Amino acid sequence: MKEKIKQLKNDFFNEIEKISDLTALEKIEIKYLGRKAGELTKILRQLRDLPVTERQEIGVLANQLKKELAQKIREVFQLLKNQASQSAVFDVTVPGLKPTEGHKHLVTQAIEEIVEIFERIGFSRRRYPEVEWEWYAFESLNMPPNHPARDEWETFFIDLKPVGPKGQRILTPHTSSGQVREMEKGQLPIRMINISKCYRRQIDISHVPMFHQFEGLLIDQQVTIADLKGTLDYFVKQFFGSNRRARIRPSHFQFTEPSFEVDVSCGLCDGQGCKMCKAGWLELGGAGMIHPNVLKAGKVDPKKYSGFAFGWGVERCYLMKAGLSIPDIRMLYQNDLRFLNQF
Ligand code: PHE
């Protein structure tokens, strides 16, 4: 029996040295290790007929050989495969590998859409600094130093000395800081859409310390509330859908007079009130007619010119459009592809 095993081993290694393709390898595997009639399988099967004294010794030898053969077969298999792939010709008919395609972040998508909507009615995109002087964010907007209304903007201050009337450097808490900057260019009429990152000291399920606003500003002769209302209606229909309407309610901002809160009718119940919206209307954000003091700060003559402005959150608008109530707005900025891929 021992002899037989030795012989088997020799035969196997002789044969396997000679082969050069995978089919031959498969044949050898079947010949020696095949489950039904493999040479080594047969020996293993005969073990139980041997006397106990021999059984153990032969068993160990046979099982060792089995491992050895299987190992060799694996090695030769790898070798042949590598050779095959190295010598393979380039097959132009094999379908190519397609890299997975990404897409723009939903906030970028929303910004692009908003800009396009306003460009169609003559507004141009502007960007103003994220690191801003207090003066543009507050004083020029009719909020003198220490005015209590400033508290509403939960501002981040930069730890640098104030510079004269410009005040301290801050992270801009709203895009309204671009109003007087735009007026200072001295080109009238104005139709700008200023979109930028804004910062406030707030973080919870409905606030992130960094978010985006888009600010419309129109200044011309004889601009009225009707123009503001028409523009809001236009935007709401373009962005949310032709069945939606805008509504304005009295509100208060230091830099607009009169001031409004703008709502959009709920897409599900059309203003009737339902589970999704409660009162039939969803709040977009602030708007109003430019306060004469703000025009003056931008060196625009309030006797000749008037205008309107509105400033809303990009994230908020986009989520309202998608009819989404995501449980936590911070999800937008956690870069989890399982979430982002849905948009
Ligand atoms: N800047 C205001 C805010 O951040 C919104 C606003 C913009 C209100 C323009 C009136 C006019 O809440």
Helix (H) or strand (E) holding 299: none
**In the prediction, which pLDDT does 328 show?**
82
CATH of the domain at 289: 3.30.930.10
**In the prediction, which pLDDT does 325 show?**
66
The finding on whether 172 has its CB within 6 A of some atom of ligand 1 is no
Ligand 1 probe mutation, 155, 176, 202, most atoms within 8 A of CB: 176
**Residue 313 burial (CB count, 10 A):** 20
For residue 23, tell me if it sits in a domain.
yes
33 lies in the same domain as 112: no
Distance 340 CA to ligand 1 centre (A): 28
198 lies in the same domain as 245: yes
Q: How many domains does the chain have?
A: 2
The finding on whether 211 has its CB within 6 A of some atom of ligand 1 is no
206 lies in the same domain as 78: no
**Contacts of the segment 106-113: beta carbons below 8 A, 24+ positions apart:** 106/318, 106/332, 106/340, 106/343, 107/212, 107/314, 107/315, 107/318, 107/332, 109/318, 109/343, 110/314, 110/315, 110/317, 110/318, 110/321, 111/195, 111/212, 111/214, 111/314, 113/239
**In the prediction, which pLDDT does 307 show?**
98
Q: What is the DSSP string of 216-237?
A: EEEEETT--HHHHHHHHHHHHH
- Taking the C-alpha atoms of residue 259 and residue 310, their distance in angstroms, rounded to an integer, is 10
The finding on whether 177 has its CB within 6 A of some atom of ligand 1 is no
200 lies in the same domain as 322: yes
**In the prediction, which pLDDT does 323 show?**
67
253 lies in the same domain as 112: yes
257 lies in the same domain as 291: yes
E strands, the chain, in order = 124-126, 131-133, 156-157, 169-171, 190-199, 210-220, 246-253, 256-265, 281-290, 306-313
HSE on the CB side for 74, CA within 13 Å?
Answer: 6
For residue 53, tell me if it sits in a domain.
yes
For residue 91, tell me if it sits in a domain.
no
For residue 60, tell me if it sits in a domain.
yes
Distance 189 CA to ligand 1 centre (A): 21
User: What is the extent of the structural domain holding 76?
Assistant: 2-83
For residue 136, tell me if it sits in a domain.
no
56 lies in the same domain as 198: no
* Intervals of the chain under pLDDT 70: 88, 322-325
75 lies in the same domain as 196: no
Identify which of 281, 289, 320, 287 has the alpha carbon closest to the alpha carbon of residue 306: 289
Check: CB of residue 241 under 8 Å from CB of residue 233: no
Provide the terminal-to-terminal Cα distance of the chain, rounded to the nearest Å. Answer: 71
The structure tokens 């409660």 sit at 278
For residue 141, tell me if it sits in a domain.
no
For atom 12 of ligand 1, which residue has the closest CA? Answer: 286
253 lies in the same domain as 336: yes
**In the prediction, which pLDDT does 20 show?**
87
For atom 9 of ligand 1, which residue has the closest CA? Answer: 310
Residue 257 marked ligand-binding: yes
For residue 97, tell me if it sits in a domain.
no
193 lies in the same domain as 334: yes
The finding on whether 254 has its CB within 6 A of some atom of ligand 1 is no
10 lies in the same domain as 43: yes
Which of 50, 83, 116 terminates a domain? The answer is 83
51 lies in the same domain as 197: no
For residue 88, tell me if it sits in a domain.
no
